[in-house]
Structure 1
């Protein structure tokens, strides 16, 4: 029986912290499914298809990583993937509190699914997708590459430039 785990998130955009968790998780299991969540209530920078493409690009060197989209409950997605383990990355004590609550809810929804937490490496504890969105217009490419995979910096800049063009002139 193969060991399969699922790492879910919005990955909007994928950060070096996310990639670190993916790399480390992929060494622990035979197959790691990265689940790109679709939350229609949340305004995303990248579409779900774009996020899948970006993650596939930065994980191309990890042959046991598969990237899929999902909507709905993470535990349902994990079941659909025929896995029994959810991987979660935590950066801070506040992350742990949020993840603890979600783990308890997931356990009520499906007691056969276990959650495994990986602490972010120290160099990534401050990195978040919302931080990336805030600093992209102010940081140089080399600075951005300290937070996101270098291969997606141009995608990030292009997407934010497109969004700026879409904002009416009088609201800038």
Structure 2
């Protein structure tokens, strides 16, 4: 069984994340979406809220593609999380050159810790390249319309947080 791990904070999950998840489903038999706890980032949504949003949006995608999608919170090293879920591949989305520079360093460090786990990069679709969770939260906080960037249920959750 090919098991992939797609990690992130997903605060909140965006159309960009969902695009990567949809395409990753065609590469693996089981896709584990690793939700990083990462207290340093001060997430808007609790871990439980992020997990539920991802489950609601992404488990059905897996069913469409015949891929099991599992949501797995983690707080340890990414490479240790990959080992914990028996992933042989880490899936990362790239939007721009700046993403590549950071990811290039991460791959090097991860390979030094465990050379048996590969990293696969999926380029963001052109329509999603500008989407970043941080910007989505800011647009929402300032009363802007984020409907193009997140699923309706996530937009509703953002609107509720803004109240």
Bin of the TM-score, shorter chain as denominator length: over 0.9
Residue 99 of structure 1 deviates from its aligned partner by: 0.4
Residue 23 of structure 1 deviates from its aligned partner by: 0.5
- Aligned residue number for residue 94 of structure 2: 90
- The alignment yields a C-alpha RMSD, in angstroms, of 1.0
Question: Which residues in structure 2 correspond to 1:5-154 (within 5 Å)?
Answer: 5-61=4-60, 62-63=62-63, 64-136=68-140, 137-140=142-145, 144-154=146-156
Instruction: Select between 58-67 and 70-79 the one with higher mean Cα deviation.
Output: 58-67
CA distance in 2, matches of 1:82, 1:126: 32
Residue 138 of structure 1 deviates from its aligned partner by: 2.3
User: SS in structure 1 opposite 2:40?
Assistant: coil
Structure with the greater alpha carbon radius of gyration: 1
Structure 2, unpaired ranges of 5+ = none
| CA deviation vs aligned residue, 1:116-157 (integer Å, no higher than 9, x gap) | 0000000000000011011113223xxx22101122111111
Structure 1, unpaired ranges of 5+ = 162-172
TM-score (norm 1): 0.88
- Aligned residue number for residue 158 of structure 2: 156
Residue pair 2:79, 2:114 contacting (<8 A) in 1 also = yes
| CA deviation vs aligned residue, 1:20-47 (integer Å, no higher than 9, x gap) | 0000001111110000001122211011
TM-score (norm 2): 0.93
Residue 111 of structure 1 deviates from its aligned partner by: 1.1
Residue pair 2:59, 2:70 contacting (<8 A) in 1 also = no
- Aligned residue number for residue 3 of structure 1: 2
- Aligned residue number for residue 168 of structure 1: none
